[in-house]
Structure 1
Amino acid sequence: MKPIALSLLLSGLLLAGGAHAADADQVRASHAWIRLLPGALPAGAYVTLENDGDRPVALRGAASTVYAEVMLHRSSREGGMSRMSMVDALEVPAHGKAELAPAGYHLMLTQPKVPVKPGDTVTLTLRFGDGSTLATDFIARPANALDAGDEHADHAMPAMDHGAMPHGH
């Protein structure tokens, strides 16, 4: 096959149905915050994800340069017992939203490489099913916090390497 014919064939295949926006391009993150717990206890990260796209997307996890490990978990209550389990993905429905919140889905953050204190901003890179990512700033809050706080409503940023070390906010 001649190079021009191959190029036209590949272009046609992409136009026929293979081309769509990356999952991260369809998602907006807001109300992103981290609940810090005392000592070496893991922190919990929470965020609201809104999908503006025409198809569902799956949050598969996250990464951090500040925390050694970031895992997607779900808390639940069964028979009066609280349980927590790791999950592979959280679906964000088309034209809908999914919330990571206390007592539900959350990101568990373990082994901070540097001390994180209330008021610090930590960037977590959210990872979606198609491999795309969304770097999102999370504000660190004390253990007794219930939400992100009013002044920190939207912390999503374009995916890029911008030195995700915590800093005062």
Structure 2
Amino acid sequence: MMIRNARALPFLLAGSIFATGIHATEAEHIHASQAWIRVLPGDLPAGAYVTLENTSDQPAMLRSATTPRYASVMLHKSSSEGGVSRMAMVESLAIPAHGKAELSPGGYHLMLSKAGTPLSVGENIKITLHFADGSTLDTDFVARPANATDAGDAHH
């Protein structure tokens, strides 16, 4: 492409920089809250729960999660059909534009298996959430007792 007016070049360059720089990552638009882990006795897997709110005009896609405290972190969905409870691994979880997705007991959750060291009630651990565009969000999760039902239910 030949530019006949040299004074137009800075405007063309500025426009192309602006056009490529306005796309924020999925993780930059996600706000994580009420993050907690249900600690079960012994070597039983733990469930991790969090509310993810998307402030973007575009949906975001949670693909996976990792933490150095557990060898395995899988995204699961629990369901109940005809009085039978089931749990299945899922590939991803959509967080709608200007909406939220809740990972909660009885629904979507992170299944944490093979703890490197036992997790104590009240302890905080960092779990990194991985999104479809390759971006990540480090989130602090607090450990709650086995009989907790939500993030604030630490003493029942």
TM-score by length of structure 2 reads 0.86
Q: Does 1:33 align with 2:44?
A: no
| 1:143 alignment partner in structure 2 | 146
Distance 1:110 1:150, change over 3 A: closer
Which stretches in structure 1 are left out of the alignment for 5+ residues? 152-169
Structure 2 residue aligned with 1:99: 102
Give the alignment of 1:1-169 within 5 angstroms: 12=16, 15-16=18-19, 19-149=22-152
**Structure 1 counterpart of 2:49, one-letter code:** Y
CA distance in 2: counterparts of 1:150 and 1:101, whole angstroms: 13
Query: d(CA) in 2 for partners of 1:125 and 1:54?
Result: 23
**TM-score, normalised via structure 1 length:** 0.79
Q: Which protein is bigger by CA-based radius of gyration?
A: 2
SS in 1 for 2:119: coil
| Residue type at the aligned position of 2:59 | P
SS in 2 for 1:119: coil
* Structure 2 alignment gaps of length 5 or more: 2-8
Q: Deviations over 1:36-90 (max 9, x none)?
A: 1111110000000000011000011100010111000000011211000000111
What is the count of residue pairs matched by the alignment?
A: 146
1:117 offset after TM fit, Å?
Answer: 1.0
Cα offset, 1:18, TM superposition: 7.7
Q: CA RMSD in A?
A: 2.3
Matched-pair identity in %: 61
In 1, Cα distance between the equivalents of 2:58 and 2:151? 28
The letter of the residue matching 1:116 is L
